[in-house]
Structure 1
Amino acid sequence: MLNPVLVLGATRGVGLELAQQLRLRQIPVTALVRPGSQSDRLADIGVHQILGDATDPETLGVALRSAGAGVRVVSTLSGRLPDGEWVEDIAHRVLARIAQKADVKRIVLVTSIGCGEMAPYRSERAIVAFGAAVDAKTRGENAIRASGLPYTFIRPGGLISEPATGRGILSEDPQIHGMIHREDVATLICEVLSNPEAEGRAFAAVDQDQARSDNALVAACLSA
């Protein structure tokens, strides 16, 4: 049985899709929710909510302890803070520090195609449009990697808010680009959460029918 999961960014997008899928599997889910966020759907599906801010060490620590022993943390955080800093940079540096004091079994960051070793293959157009955000996500990945905590990075392509196709795949091809539906990203996260072979690895997430690369399309090898 999967250990409890703390979701950061659970009120919308991939985070909400993930919380719904985890609860369908009867997995205990805790969400750290900003005061004032629309979280009725989380309450409806039985997600335990902690009010707070993921960039605040104290409330993040409370959320980790509340989630329970052996927790897995999934973060889909993104966006800018009022001071112009990137949430995915600041919050993941805080997470890297605070999680070392908790019984965390895995941290899964949902970042973006173009992060880390994929950076040299970004187009000029992508750099202009999303470069600063992707660089902030890379800094967040680097903080988690440097912490020594068990991690997996999921790097989706362009996100689509339509029903799942069931054609989402994970790839370790640094040149791959493409699109993927948010619901399919959530399904892929569920698959890696309990898979020891995913630990310490970074995967692009794309719909195999909407992927492109100079290399042959090959899904990452992960046993069930």
Structure 2
Amino acid sequence: MKTIVIWGAGGGLGAAMVEYFYKKDFTVIAIVRNPAKNPRLLELGIHTIVCDATDQEQVQRSVDAIPINAWVLSTMGSFRSDVPVDYIGHRHLIDALENNNINRFLLITSLGCGDSWKYLPERARTVFGFAVREKSLAESWLQSSGLDFTILRPGGLQDGPVTGKGSLSQYTETHGLIHRSEVARLAHQLLDDKDSIGNIYQCVDPSLSV
């Protein structure tokens, strides 16, 4: 049975990842700052590790506790947080994974990161720009690492079921919405595809109207 470690499993996209991979019979390890934010972790009996990813020692201890052959996935984010985790948390995590020779890592950021910044509308830059820039720094740190990484940038996130209609794209202007559970399906697809290593993808669901 494959093990997947989900950082940022306390809510939102991370919680959707937990539900998806649990239903796919993965052994799920959830990494959260506050487990109380996601009661489903206890209900499902998910092995949970409490970690403040802005603390480097906590991150290293958490990575020490996960299997070397696990897939690792991160949805960590901290929109308007006093201490953003988007960059520094991922920097600590990437460094710890390298230290422990845990290689397969999928980082989920957002449309507008990196070279897609130029396509981010001005209003979105005003509201989300700081977080997007922090995530872009995390992408850059990851790209200069030795990990077998893939980066996924989803569009606007909504609750809803897996549709099977989410689409992946590269190197093109992309806008749209996607269900969190559909992002989880695409994340599974990418983690299982060796050709995705070293690549950056965007994803939206064309069947959803903006």
TM-score after normalising by structure 1: 0.86
Specify the alignment match of 1:217 in structure 2: none
- Structure 2 segments unaligned to the other structure (5+ residues): none
- Give the equivalent residue in structure 1 for 2:56: 57
C-alpha distance in structure 1 between counterparts of 2:126 and 2:159, whole Å: 24
Which of 202, 205, 208 is the aligned partner of 1:204?
Answer: 202
CA contact (8 A) 1:81 1:87 kept: no
Give the SS at the match of 2:65: helix
Instruction: Kindly indicate whether the alpha-carbon contact (under 8 Å) linking 1:31 and 1:47 is maintained by their aligned counterparts in 2.
Output: yes
Structure 1's unaligned 5+ residue stretches are 213-224
Q: 1-side partners of 2:20 and 2:165: how far apart?
A: 17
Deviation at 1:129, TM superposition (A): 2.0
In 2, the alpha carbon distance for the partners of 1:137 and 1:47 equals: 27
1:51-200 alignment runs, 5 A limit = 51-80=50-79, 84-200=82-198
Contact 2:5 / 2:71 at 8 angstroms: preserved in 1? Answer: yes
Alpha-carbon deviations, 1:98-141, whole Å to 9, x = none? Answer: 11111313111110001111112222222122211111110111
Q: What amino acid does structure 2 have at the position aligned with 1:112?
A: S
Give the Cα separation in 1 of the matches to 2:104 and 2:194.
10
Q: Quick one: distance in 2 between partners of 1:140 and 1:174?
A: 21
Deviation (angstroms), 1:211:
8.0
Structure 1 position 80, deviation (Å): 4.9
CA distance in 2, matches of 1:73, 1:47: 15
Q: Is the 8 A contact 2:105 2:147 kept in 1?
A: yes
In the alignment, is the contact (CA less than 8 A) between 1:30 and 1:63 conserved in 2? Answer: no
**Which residue of 1 is the match for residue 10 of structure 2?**
11
**1:18-57 aligned within 5 A:** 18-35=17-34, 37-57=36-56
Q: Which moved more, 1:30-39 or 1:171-180?
A: 30-39
CA–CA separation in structure 2 for the residues paired with 1:188 and 1:209: 15
Query: Which residue identity is paired with 2:166?
Result: G
Q: Output the CA distance in 1 between the equivalents of 2:177 and 2:38.
A: 27
Do the aligned residues in 1 keep the contact of 2:10 with 2:35 (CA within 8 Å)? no
AA in 2 matched with 1:140: A
Question: Cα distance, 1:81 vs. partner?
Answer: 7.6
8 Å CA contact 1:117, 1:174 repeated in 2: no
Cα 1:18–1:204 change in 2 (3 A) is same
Q: CA deviation at 1:77?
A: 0.8
Q: 1:80 to 1:21 in 2, by over 3 A?
A: closer
Whole-Å separation in 2 of the counterparts to 1:162 and 1:80 = 22
Equivalent pair of 2:35/2:50 in contact (CA under 8 Å): no
In the comparison of the two structures, how many residue pairs are matched? 210
| Separation in structure 1 between the aligned mates of residue 124 and residue 151 of structure 2, nearest angstrom | 20
Secondary structure at 1:87 match in 2: coil
TM-score normalised by the chain length of structure 2? 0.91
Query: Equivalent residue for 1:222?
Result: none
Q: Matched residues in 1 for 2:139 and 2:15: separation? A: 21
**Structure 2 CA distance, aligned partners of 1:98 and 1:36?**
22
